[in-house]
Structure 1
Amino acid sequence: MKQLQETKPDDNEQNVNRLAGEKSPYLLQHAHNPVDWYPWGEEAFNKARQDDKPIFLSIGYSTCHWCHVMEKESFEDPQVAKLMNEAFVPIKVDREERPDIDTIYMSVCQALTGRGGWPLSILMTPDKKPFMAATYIPRESRYGMAGMLDIVPAVSNMWTRQREELIANAEEIVSAISGGVHDSTEGPGLDESTLDRTYQLLRSSFDPSSAGFGNAPKFPTPHHLTFLLRYWKRSKEDKALEMAEETLKAMRKGGIYDHIGFGFHRYSTDSKWLVPHFEKMLYDQALIAIALIETYQATQNPEYRENAEEVFSYVLRDMHSPEGGFYSAEDADSEGEEGRFYLWTEQELEDVLGEMEAKLFKEVFRTSPGGNFLDEASRAHTGRNILHLDESLHEAAERRGEDYDRFRQSFEISRRKLFEHREMRMHPSKDDKIMTDWNSLMIVALSKAARAFDEPAYAREAAMTADFILSKMVSPEGRLFHRYRDDEVAVEGFLDDYAFFVWGLIELYQATFNTEYLKNALLFNDQLILHFRDSIHGGFFHTADDSEKLIMRSKEIYDGAIPSGNSVCALNLLYLGRITGNTDLENKAYEIMQLFSGQVSKMPIGYTQLMCALDFAVGPSREIVVAGDPEREETQEIISDINREFVPNKVILLKPEGRGTEISAIAEYVSDMSMKDGRTTVHICQNYNCNLPSTDRKEILRQLKD
């Protein structure tokens, strides 16, 4: 499979800049630009001070389509490069490798322009203070948008003639974006009414015709769906479950899903989930899989399990590193065109499948001779098709009066033929760096699948990834690193690395009952509290107290494409508080919710991962202790019963008969919980009250569902 290109065929040794020594695939993409790029570091800042130049900071990521466009238009252009090299000290940053830098300067861009996105372009002083911001900038000015050929000389002139004004502007910007970090946004607090309001806001923004929330572009936002499942469980509001199901079904049928190789693309550019932005991100696969798994638990509809297993099939096939971790992303572009790898002409389908087989495939996957994919520049039909469904294969088989298993098998034969043919195409480039936070989300997803599907193979994959992080990405002092590539670890861990890894280890313990994972969850949670917690105002900073000093330490609660570290911390603290019986941990979770309550209460739809934590805090929640021999069939069946049910607000511990000292050392309250009459016994506590222990599977399930 074609990996990310680090050089171009016509490169020569004279065209190598300082990025050639970096490990980031994104930085390596720019290593042969005529722009004299520096990586972020003191060498660049010293150069800027020495030469008395401002800094042009460009932030992006390897699978970003418009980052590629700006590189081709401007950064590969000798004229633009000459202007940039004369006027600035140019710095390139991979936003995935340095989310701390990206978070700060993206907030600057949003404050100054009212919008954000990548590529992110920042002009700043040698002491890192920004005075101008933009996203994509064309080479030449057009349609009222200033181009690089005009911007660079203008800024250079301002730096010479109006420097005091620029510096004053930079100071004002830093002051403005820093002001809200420590200020308390405490409100009246969050409670069950906040959950009700979040649901009403999601319901009002739900698209009844195409599912999902809002208009184009449409993002998956899986934590919206996991919140809706919890709200349905709490309120018995059928519409909440309906919205989650309709959204997952619409996504599975749409062009946002790769029907040939599986996995979800980044987002849909239209409101009908048809035309995706074709990049594939590891975190999307993990988070969507979590939503599918939980919806399967809630409904027992096998379609959701099938879809989740397809996602894992893609990830384990194409994104799994030999060492045990998962790669970050696959590009949208190949052969210089977005989506080319994923598109099909009807003639290609007939050539691969034959006329008769292709006829049925084209009918079901809604292709047309003219194609449904438009050329980006001319907006003309290309003859190529995005495969999509108007109805699920279940529905198609039912409409045609055919047996579903036989119908699906025929399409699986066609899919495999097309997949094998597609494998011969030039693949999109792969960003093969391994990141702790995104890998941890995959640990969560695989661990949940192992439990819900009663499939130990997924637990083994999750354990392999956790063991990789523990062996390769932890310092001798017990601190996490953020990035691994080419046998090199780098970049000190951020809040998301710790928060997501703790979450993954908690889920992995409950899938394997290996107490080493639970011990490590507690150890990394201790590190998180020690180095990231704001001991004065509460909550957690994005960076550690001993990390590189930037112009500010950010503190985020917004649940965007990825849940915020603070939201995940809140849930982790509740989990660990219930597992250990340590109420101080729960108090720290409540502290997060109180700290941000003023901000969250205004528009809770932006904080649905935090709402999942709030749902746990409001209750009911359960601590479940299974006392028994883990090798006995009786014990395994009871654990399977518990895992099959959708009971999101629970923790489950196993106290092995005769070997319960390790879990008792972590959770002292399980010491006196034991088997009854020689049988596997379940002890269920709910809302700080414990039920009578039971050995009866029906009674155990009744207590879970009560």
Structure 2
Amino acid sequence: MSAHENRLAKEKSPYLLQHARNPVDWYPWGAEALERAKQEDKPILLSIGYAACHWCHVMERESFENDSIAARMNELFVNVKVDREERPDLDQVYQLVVQLMGRSGGWPLTVFLTPDQKPFFAGTYFPPADKYGVPGFPAILEAVADAYKRRRGEVLAQAGEITQEIERVGALPPGEGAIGQDLLRKACRRLLARFDSHNGGFGSRPKFPNTMSLDLLLMRGALEGDAVSKESVELALDKMQKGGIWDHLRGGFHRYSTDARWLVPHFEKMLYDNALLLRLYVDGHRALGDARFAETARALVAYLFAEMRDASGAFYATQDADSEGQEGKFFVWKLGDLRAAVGDDHEAYEVARVYFGITEEGNFEETGATVLSEVRSIERAAAIVDLDADVARRALERARAKMLAAREQRPRPTRDDKILASWNALMIGALAEAGRALDEPAWIGAAKAAFAAIEKRLVRSGRVRRYFMPGEDEAPEARRGFLDDQAYVASAALDLYEATGDPRYVAVAREIADAMLEHHEDTREGGFFFAPDDGDALIARTKDVFDQAVPSGASMAAKLCLRLGEIADETYAEHGRRQIEPVGPTAIDNPLGLGKAVAVLDRLVRGTVDVVLVGDPSGERAQTLAAAVFRRYLPHRNVVWVDPRRPETAEAVKVLAEGKGARGDDTVAYVCRNRTCSAPVSDVTALEGLLDRK
């Protein structure tokens, strides 16, 4: 370690390495830091963030690179840096501290702990000096250190009370009321009350995609014919794609919008957002019949393949919001930038200027730069610049290509190239489903390659490790995975099984599910712990049923168990029910926070549509029948494949395969609802009729 480096220089995480040259004497989380705090009787300053976090960068520049602030941190505290993507268990526990203190959580997360890890004060971003009545970070440091030194009894009492509250959060209070067939209607009624009927989405600002909530509305529209729910999803998908949250040159979605109109985003791009939105746009296309949503999905996948894929086939975690020390600089445009990019192509310049709304004033933080969005339709832009619509459309495509080429010459935002199991699993499942739905076999191939990379480097005896770094052949055993890693990867295996018919994926899903039940299930109270039983001993072992930016690991674990129970072995289903049923009344009352739980409950109550394809899975007839299934939006669906020549294919999915025989050499399909099955059909039209039956 050089004189200009701290202990983070030895870490693998790109986020921790960003802080390796801070004058702060940073430690990674571990025994060395905890032991020093005890020996020197110093409080711990715990700072949690991630590589693409804009305000994490701001606090680093303002405070952690400030020599005088760093000196006081080093003198008064044992300073610990954590990448929340490496250690979501720590983040989950200590985010609760901020919320229990009546503040909004987020990153950077700043928590002050006693040497035995108990929190007594917390916040998020702190400015470098007092401002507008808000104490600056130096004042916070002094006040916290003084309290720990002079009012130790009060500090320890508060730490004990907060720790007890964190432990209680793990037990979700039972809601009131029964779970019935109307649960989806009730939940969606509450969602619609929060829906922005002008701009789409929920609430005002900042505005997040809230994918799980939109999933529920789409589900209600399709299953129960609710026109308002359908129209709401269509509006949200349309407004997001037209807004600045969508990258109009390369494709892909930014993290969230700072305004109600989806115009100015926080510019980081997260793998999980794009995985969830890929699936949602494909489902929107299938349910609503809008070809634009399929085009959005194709552009999103093109972005992923161009910028987010590792040599192993797996996908990187994030792209940063900042470049050259400024948020969004890589993405925004001035008129001079546009002129330089398109050169003497006057038509391209005029159409792009009008279509994207690029002006002298701009729309981004009084910089004179513009965040690109679809301000006018191409038809309206063509009329304004007095061009035929087809001519304008071609001019816009020339402009896009030239603008993208010019943007590629700018200094790029950094990328967090960790390969996270859970986030990759979300993308693998989305690619497998989308590849089938949009007839893109290369996407299914990409999903298989990514899964192979995850399986090779991260899965051992059914246990999924958290992440690997590019170039690693195997992640260290110490990178234990958490509930979402297990539930998501096993679910992705089932998605790949449905897309390919390969029974090996069912075996992998079962092995992971078995290990998940062994190490995460609460066999006394029901439900699932986020951290495994052999993980680090933290102040609390939490059970978090709420969705965050990604679906709740507990809800995904419940759905995984239900799916395995529906197709392979009915004993799995009881584990899922023990997780999801107690959450029901609370989930119906709070669908914005428990959207995935509502969806799983609806599956449990409503039942599934099961399609059994019997015959040669590689044959033309089987593929034609499968295509008819995947073209449809069927929210609670299982697809299983039985090849009469291979008994193991029926054994893998024996719950559904039982009694489903072939009809001579013909390939047939059975459609079952609530274990009542149709006669076998081999005609696509007949199959479509069975699928469309309510």
Class of the TM-score when normalised by the shorter of the 2 chains:
over 0.9
What one-letter code is carried by the residue in structure 2 that aligns with 1:82?
A
1:6 aligns to what?
A: none
Aligned CA distance change for structure 1 residues 391 and 499 (closer, same or farther; 3 Å): farther
Q: CA deviation at 1:130?
A: 0.5
Measured on the aligned residues, the alpha-carbon RMSD in Å equals 1.9
Q: Tell me if the contact between 1:221 and 1:560 (Cα under 8 Å) persists in the aligned partners.
A: no
Could you tell me which of 409, 424, 447 is aligned with 2:409? 424
Aligned CA distance change for structure 1 residues 395 and 325 (closer, same or farther; 3 Å): farther
1:484 aligns to what?
A: 468
Cα distance between partner residues in 2 of 1:499 and 1:397: 49
Could you tell me which of 346, 368, 374 is aligned with 1:383? 368
* TM-score relative to the length of structure 2: 0.96
Q: Tell me if the contact between 1:186 and 1:594 (Cα under 8 Å) persists in the aligned partners.
A: no
* TM-superposition CA deviations, 1:35-70 (whole Å, max 9, x none): 100000000011111111110001111111111111
Q: CA deviation at 1:155?
A: 2.1
Report the secondary structure of 2:337's partner residue: helix
**2:359 aligned with 1:368, yes or no?**
yes
Cα distance between partner residues in 1 of 2:197 and 2:649: 51
Report the secondary structure of 1:90's partner residue: strand
What one-letter code is carried by the residue in structure 1 that aligns with 2:198?
S
* TM-score relative to the length of structure 1: 0.94
Q: CA deviation at 1:407?
A: 5.0
2:271 aligns to what?
A: 282
1:5 aligns to what?
A: none
Report the secondary structure of 2:112's partner residue: strand
Report the secondary structure of 2:639's partner residue: strand
Cα distance between partner residues in 2 of 1:416 and 1:533: 51
Could you tell me which of 41, 44, 55 is aligned with 1:66? 55
Alignment of 1:106-121 (within 5 A): 106-121=95-110
Aligned CA distance change for structure 1 residues 459 and 400 (closer, same or farther; 3 Å): farther
What one-letter code is carried by the residue in structure 2 that aligns with 1:571?
K
Cα distance between partner residues in 2 of 1:688 and 1:666: 14
Cα distance between partner residues in 1 of 2:218 and 2:96: 32
Q: Tell me if the contact between 2:27 and 2:80 (Cα under 8 Å) persists in the aligned partners.
A: yes
Q: CA deviation at 1:15?
A: 1.5
442-451 vs 665-674, which moves further = 665-674
Report the secondary structure of 1:624's partner residue: strand
Aligned CA distance change for structure 1 residues 204 and 32 (closer, same or farther; 3 Å): same
Aligned CA distance change for structure 1 residues 669 and 231 (closer, same or farther; 3 Å): closer
1:249 aligns to what?
A: 238
Q: Tell me if the contact between 1:56 and 1:121 (Cα under 8 Å) persists in the aligned partners.
A: yes
Q: CA deviation at 1:630?
A: 2.2
Report the secondary structure of 2:497's partner residue: helix
Report the secondary structure of 1:663's partner residue: helix
2:584 aligns to what?
A: 597
Cα distance between partner residues in 1 of 2:172 and 2:607: 32
2:675 aligns to what?
A: 688
Residue segments in structure 1 that go unaligned for 5+ positions in a row: 1-11, 375-380
1:673 aligns to what?
A: 660
Alignment of 1:571-650 (within 5 A): 571-580=559-568, 582-650=569-637
Aligned CA distance change for structure 1 residues 669 and 264 (closer, same or farther; 3 Å): closer
1:4 aligns to what?
A: none
* TM-superposition CA deviations, 1:555-607 (whole Å, max 9, x none): 11111211101111222222211111x33322222222222234324323321
Q: CA deviation at 1:206?
A: 1.3
Q: CA deviation at 1:299?
A: 2.5
Report the secondary structure of 2:572's partner residue: helix
What one-letter code is carried by the residue in structure 1 that aligns with 2:70?
A
Report the secondary structure of 2:642's partner residue: strand
Cα distance between partner residues in 2 of 1:199 and 1:170: 39
What one-letter code is carried by the residue in structure 1 that aligns with 2:527?
G
1:343 aligns to what?
A: 332
Q: CA deviation at 1:677?
A: 4.1
Aligned CA distance change for structure 1 residues 400 and 610 (closer, same or farther; 3 Å): farther
Q: Tell me if the contact between 2:462 and 2:513 (Cα under 8 Å) persists in the aligned partners.
A: no
Residue segments in structure 2 that go unaligned for 5+ positions in a row: none
**2:686 aligned with 1:699, yes or no?**
yes
Aligned CA distance change for structure 1 residues 197 and 393 (closer, same or farther; 3 Å): farther
2:644 aligns to what?
A: 657
Report the secondary structure of 1:93's partner residue: strand
Report the secondary structure of 1:261's partner residue: coil
Cα distance between partner residues in 2 of 1:552 and 1:70: 28
* TM-superposition CA deviations, 1:288-328 (whole Å, max 9, x none): 11100111111232111110011111111101001121111
Report the secondary structure of 2:80's partner residue: strand
Cα distance between partner residues in 2 of 1:402 and 1:201: 46
Cα distance between partner residues in 1 of 2:492 and 2:102: 37
679-688 vs 117-126, which moves further = 679-688
Could you tell me which of 473, 478, 488 is aligned with 1:500? 488
Report the secondary structure of 1:322's partner residue: coil
Cα distance between partner residues in 2 of 1:654 and 1:325: 26
Aligned CA distance change for structure 1 residues 457 and 14 (closer, same or farther; 3 Å): same
592-601 vs 328-337, which moves further = 592-601
Cα distance between partner residues in 2 of 1:414 and 1:252: 19
Q: Tell me if the contact between 1:253 and 1:391 (Cα under 8 Å) persists in the aligned partners.
A: no
What one-letter code is carried by the residue in structure 2 that aligns with 1:447?
A
Aligned CA distance change for structure 1 residues 291 and 559 (closer, same or farther; 3 Å): same
**2:13 aligned with 1:24, yes or no?**
yes
* TM-superposition CA deviations, 1:310-350 (whole Å, max 9, x none): 11111111010011211110111111111000011111111
**2:425 aligned with 1:440, yes or no?**
yes
Question: How many residue pairs were aligned?
Answer: 687
Q: Tell me if the contact between 1:187 and 1:594 (Cα under 8 Å) persists in the aligned partners.
A: no
Aligned CA distance change for structure 1 residues 641 and 99 (closer, same or farther; 3 Å): same
**2:530 aligned with 1:542, yes or no?**
yes
Q: CA deviation at 1:258?
A: 0.7
Could you tell me which of 317, 338, 341 is aligned with 1:328? 317
2:501 aligns to what?
A: 513
1:191 aligns to what?
A: 180
Cα distance between partner residues in 1 of 2:580 and 2:320: 37
Report the secondary structure of 1:684's partner residue: strand
Report the secondary structure of 1:506's partner residue: helix
Cα distance between partner residues in 1 of 2:505 and 2:602: 25
